[in-house]
Every structure is written in C-alpha cells, then in structure tokens.
Amino acid sequence: MNLKPAPVFQPFLAVILSLMLGLLIVLPTGENPLEAYRLWFSAGFGCAGSGGFCAIWTSLQYATPMILSGLAAMVAFRSGMISIGQFGQMVCGAGATTFLVVTLPGAPWLRMSVGLLGGVIAGGIWSAIPGALRAYLNINEVITTLIFNTLALAATGSVSFWRIPQEVRFTPLIPTTKLTVAFFIAIGVAVLVYLYLWRRGKGLEVRMAGQASLFAKFAGMNARWAVVRGMFISGGLAGLAGGLEVLAVHHRFVSSFSTIDQFDGIIVSLLGQLHPLGIVFSSFLLGGLRLGSLNGLQLQTAVPRQLSNIIIGLMMILMVMPTISYWLRARTKTKGA
C-alpha cells in the first residue's frame, strides 16, 4: 500500500467543512448552533472561573495516549500496513505494565521503568505477529489486527482487577488534574520517531518497504523484515500508551482508555498527515473535542455528545477521500500497464 500524504491545507479544510456540516445537525435540536459551538470549545480548550481551572490541562491528558496511538498507526501506515490493532496493543501494554509493577520488587522508579518497557515489548510482539503473517504468508493484516484486539482482552484477563500501588503512580503536575509527565514522554517519543524514520537508515527501510517496496528490493533492503520491524515499533508505541494510562490516569488495569474511542489513533494519524508533528497537534485538537463534548454539549445543552463523533467521522472521511482516490488511480494505472 502506497499512502500519499495530503496537502498541508487539507487537514484545516477537513476540520472547517466538518464543523460547518455539524451546524446542520445542531439546528434540529432547537439550540443556537453558534452558542453550542461556543460552549463546546470553551469546555474543551478554555479556562473558566476565578479558581484558574483550565480545560486545556485535561485536553492534554486526553491527547497523551492519542499521540502515541497515532504514532503507532502512522508507523504501520508508513511500513505499508493498514493496522487497526492499536486498541489491542494498548490493552497488552497496560496488562504487562500492571503485572510487572505489582509483582516486581525494588525501587519505585525501577518498577515503573521495567513496567513501561514490558508494556512496549508486549505491544510490539502483539503487533509484530500480524506483520509477520502479512509479510511472509500474505495474510491480510486488517483481519488479523482486528482479531487480535479481541484476543488481547482474553490474554490480559488475569490482571483485570489489579490496582497500581501508590508508590509507582505518576504524580499530577497540576492539582485537580491527571496531567502528568506522561504527556512529555509522549512528546519526546514523537521526536524520537521522527528522527528514526527520517534521519536513520533503518527508518528509511521501514518507509521504503511501504512506499516503494520494489525500490527497496533492488536496493538490497530486506523489505519483509522491515515490515515486521515497523509493526513491532508500531505496537510498542501503542503498548507504551497503555502502560502510561495505567500508571498516570487510571491506577489500575483498564481496557477503556482516555482516548474514549479505540480508533482515535487512526484518526489523528490521518489528520496529522502521517507525520509526528501533525499527529501531536491533531491529538490535542481531538482531545479537546472529546472533552468538550462531555462537559460542554452533554451537560450544558440539549445537543447530544454524539455530535462530536459525527463531526470527527466527517473529518476522517474528508481526509481519506483524496488518499483513496490516489490509491484507486494508482491501481487503475497498474492494471492498465
């Protein structure tokens, strides 16, 4: 699969058009669309009251797992794979992290480090298996990653009721919020992913395996192994997201995360044009929209919170339509040749 990133203006156009179409959904509720939007964005991105509470901090907390799951989807896309298994990989990462920090002895920082590393490895392995099945046996990765989402819940059932000890929990950076150093870890990982994919030879192999597999073959690259490696990195990023959610937000094993929707990683990856910087910004946008739909639309208006899901779905459709058109044209040219 050869994905062609959208023009720079396209994400902004997708957001604007989807918000405009969302006005048509608000009108039948009897609410003032502009007032509903004001409450929505204020609840997701504003600061209200003399207490100095800012919704931005919670939006950043929501954005943290989205950044990592978005990076995971991006690495899979860049390696030529359509992986929809970020949810299952996050579950595996959360399960491995929970098991390790609860059972291992030692200093808290050591247990947290080993726990997160275990989450990365668990998520990586869970993703590398579908990658290997596609690379060596040509088994469709969409089907296998979807199945592995369900299998992940069964594989982590033994830690379902475990709680994280107090000493290995991340401390909030701002009182009354759950924003922790996990956000800065996600930003640092985004920088590392960029450096790996665009500044390292091994990263070039991963990108060439997805974008120009024939070139990779004649250049002497092991394209199949590059795909497996890319999928392992993809799963490791999602596994890290699950581990951070456990230590920083929920303080116990969970199978539902702050991302709210298990396909948010794919959404922010496409909105971010398959680039780490774009993914960081689109994650913050999506995190604020998710938060605003809960605290703004649902609590302060008669507009259902599902409106945000509809608008986000419209954003995704508007973003992927040119990519699908490009892919179909490429397939038509290939068949014609």
The average pLDDT across 257-266 equals 74
**DSSP code for 85:** -
- Between CA 71 and CA 188 the distance in angstroms is 12
DSSP string across 171-196: PPSSTTS---THHHHHHHHHHHHHHH
The pLDDT value given to residue 50: 45
How many other CB atoms sit within 10 Å of the CB of residue 95? 30
Greatest Cα pair distance, the chain, in angstroms, is 67
The average pLDDT across 294-305 equals 74
- Between CA 244 and CA 64 the distance in angstroms is 9
The pLDDT value given to residue 216: 67
Give pLDDT tens digits for 29-39: 777 888 888 88
* Higher local confidence (pLDDT), 319 or 231: 231
* Higher local confidence (pLDDT), 63 or 209: 63
**Would the CA dihedral through 203, 207, 208, 210 be positive or negative?**
positive
Helix (H, G, I), strand (E, B) or coil at 6: coil
The pLDDT value given to residue 119: 96
Residue 335 in this model has a pLDDT that exceeds 70: no
Question: At CB < 8 A and 24+ separation, what contacts does 166-174 make?
Answer: 167/108, 168/101, 168/108, 168/111, 168/112, 168/115, 168/247, 169/247, 169/248, 169/251, 170/244, 170/247, 170/248, 174/57
- Where do the domains of the chain lie, and which CATH numbers do they carry? 10-47+54-325 (1.10.3470)
The average pLDDT across 294-309 equals 75
**DSSP code for 163:** B
Q: How confident is the model at residue 74 (pLDDT cuts 50, 70, 90)?
A: very high
The average pLDDT across 169-183 equals 92
- Between CA 242 and CA 69 the distance in angstroms is 9
The pLDDT value given to residue 19: 83
Token pair 């038509």: residue: 332
Give pLDDT tens digits for 201-257: 888 888 887 776 667 676 677 888 999 999 999 999 999 999 999 999 999 988 777
The pLDDT value given to residue 312: 77
> CA of 45: how far to CAs of 110, 177, 296, in Å?
35, 14, 11
Residue 292 in this model has a pLDDT that exceeds 70: yes
- Between CA 249 and CA 64 the distance in angstroms is 11
**DSSP code for 255:** S
Give pLDDT tens digits for 4-28: 555 667 777 878 888 888 888 788 7
Residue 328 in this model has a pLDDT that exceeds 60: no
- Between CA 285 and CA 255 the distance in angstroms is 23
The pLDDT value given to residue 8: 61
- The percent of residues in the chain predicted with pLDDT above 70, rounded, is 87
The average pLDDT across 177-190 equals 95
